[in-house]
Structure 1
């Protein structure tokens, strides 16, 4: 495992390789000509998914070398510790930004589209976890509560529960336990009808500020983490309307974003603490105002991989777990250089697989969700 500055250099090298490989014509099938989507947000999605993958890279390495899945393993990799909070925080803000103004003609159709967007890759990830757990437990198989436990693994993330599989108590770590964030995504989606009703009465700005107030001053004293997540969605909603009243020169936005990134990766603790939310909030608002980190977020490779970010998010844990489990099972002894080269190869195989899962699984189901269902009134 690389240490500190070496890890930083490797991560930068990975991003450069991503830029070189995925901007080639081989991946032109990932382009969306004529799309009205905001390119810098697609590029942001990739960097967020990549950050979470690098966070779990350290967890997975130490876990499969006999250490517990706790933040203590980041003693020599503080950058990777902070990358996890960075990725999840901005993902939640991005959801708040995209859906804050939702007012669908049919809420049933809205939830159908959300299900078809979330469930297919979730089920693919769960199937891989179930099959791998079944293989690993083949000699000590426990069938008690098997059907009930399997139910939770195929709930599309709504319950946030991932029980043991076939007696494997830590089965949720096969995919790095990433499905917990979907519980909060669904909670946000289910709150939208109420938020939409209140927004029509008050306007979006008073609503967003009110939710922030409740999170910071009413929820945080009892549960910092829950307050933090609620506030993230509210910040995303706030960022949606800030550009209507404020305009900042792009170079100033980009310079401020770089400064904020330095602060975030220097002084935050790697925990979801409400005290650090202003840094992340200002960062996201500057991106909403047009900041793209001097063009970084608009790089063709990052925009393309941004489409595959959900696949990257749900499948990267399987890649790290499978790699480390194979090395351990075959008693392979790799030095730091060899392990890093293997990790690099695994990462790029993962990214290529994710472009294909987006193209052949995610994209068709999203198209299906956009169709008008004859049994749903619009």
Structure 2
């Protein structure tokens, strides 16, 4: 019960802080058909941030990273909150970009520029925030920018890794950059998927066949975790192919969510995406859990979710470094409040401006 109350408390602080900061900056959530998916993205980003608080809380060292201090039954639940959220991110991306691959107007160049401007400006801003703050913290010797910058950027081949002023990039970012590697792999695959889909008549059957293939292939490969990422992508693809949008009742959606979580034992295996497929499909069809996912604070959280996802690691690193001696509640509350302030600021002055640049490019290309 202690961990449930704590988790809810930290989550509430983060949501309220993001909402207040976003309103003061004049940030407005975009209105579109899939508003509930924005809310879902926001909830998942916030849960990842709270999830990482517990990884740091078991020891004084800046580099402590373990959940071994928590009882195994509670640890499993904490694992699921963070790891399932990442799986949902993969499904969201796959759903949105598979829909682009199914469109007749798909343009590879525009897509590449769009994705570049979406990923790299916020990542670079995050890296320089890490550089400045770790220089001030003086946890190690100064590392020249050219020694860590390129190796800290996500590419499709391997997860980035470097030490910045004596601080591991994995600790400073809460290790989230590895997910961007898989996102980039998805982006790289989308143009090829577009070509293939033009020749496939029964797209649902094709995607289901791929899912069956992955389920069978797990018996031939040792790393089921990697296959689970592919399954999350395929689950998102499958949702994108289903044209039916009949909304079930919120009560049924809550029941389906409960059943999916009940049967889930590990987030990163090849069967869990099948459970989460059902949940994700109901939200795509308009389920918002009695208005929760489309409420103003949650959609605001969704608007700033990518910046929150990137920035929460360094806010936790700084808060723990300076405030750990005052107790867990103090440094963890400060970390949540700081992330809730910095994320909307980064969204407004980095993310949204890179989006404006992308739109200007698209308009110029049409002229």
Normalising by structure 1, we get a TM-score of: 0.84
Alignment of 1:218 with 2:207, yes or no, is no
More displaced stretch, 365-374 vs 48-57? 365-374
Residues 312 and 335 in structure 2, CA contact (< 8 A), matched pair in contact too: no
**SS, match of residue 202 in structure 1:** coil
Residue correspondences, number: 359
Counterpart check, 1:233 vs 2:229? no
CA positional deviation for 1:313? 0.3
CA separation in 1, counterparts of 2:262 and 2:52? Answer: 22
Structure 1: 5+ residue runs without aligned partners? none
Instruction: Tell me the CA shift for residue 227 of structure 1.
Output: 0.8
Structure 1 residues 319-365: Cα deviation after superposition (integer angstroms, max 9, x where no partner): 1111111135xxx242xxxx324422431231122112111211111
| Mapped contact 1:97–1:236 kept (Cα < 8 A) | yes
CA offsets 1:7-65 (integer angstroms, 9 cap, x no match): 211222344455666666945822246x3252211111111001111111111223544
Would the alpha carbon gap of residues 319 and 68 (structure 1) be closer, same or farther in structure 2, given more than 3 Å must change?
closer
d(CA) in 2 for partners of 1:114 and 1:350?
24
- Residue 172 of structure 1, aligned match among 167, 170, 190: 170
Partner of 1:46: 42
Check the 8 A contact 1:46/1:308 in 2, yes or no: yes
1:31 pairs, out of 28, 53, 58, with 28
> 1:205 and 1:148, CA in 2 relative to 1: closer, same or farther beyond 3 A?
farther
State the partner residue of 1:286: 282
Q: Which runs of 5+ in 2 are unaligned?
A: none
Per-residue CA deviation, residues 222-280 of structure 1 (Å, 9 max, x unaligned), is 120111001111101111233x246352235423344236516xx524x5112323222
User: Over aligned residues, Cα RMSD in angstroms?
Assistant: 3.0
Distance 2:27 2:33 in 1: 14
Matches for 1:1-378 after TM superposition, within 5 Å: 5-17=1-13, 26-27=23-24, 29-32=26-29, 35-62=31-58, 64-65=60-61, 69-75=65-71, 77-103=75-101, 104-135=105-136, 140=141, 147=146, 149-153=148-152, 155-165=153-163, 168=166, 170-203=168-201, 204-219=203-218, 221-222=220-221, 223-242=223-242, 244-245=243-244, 247-260=246-259, 262-263=261-262, 267-269=264-266, 271-328=267-324, 332-334=325-327, 339-372=328-361
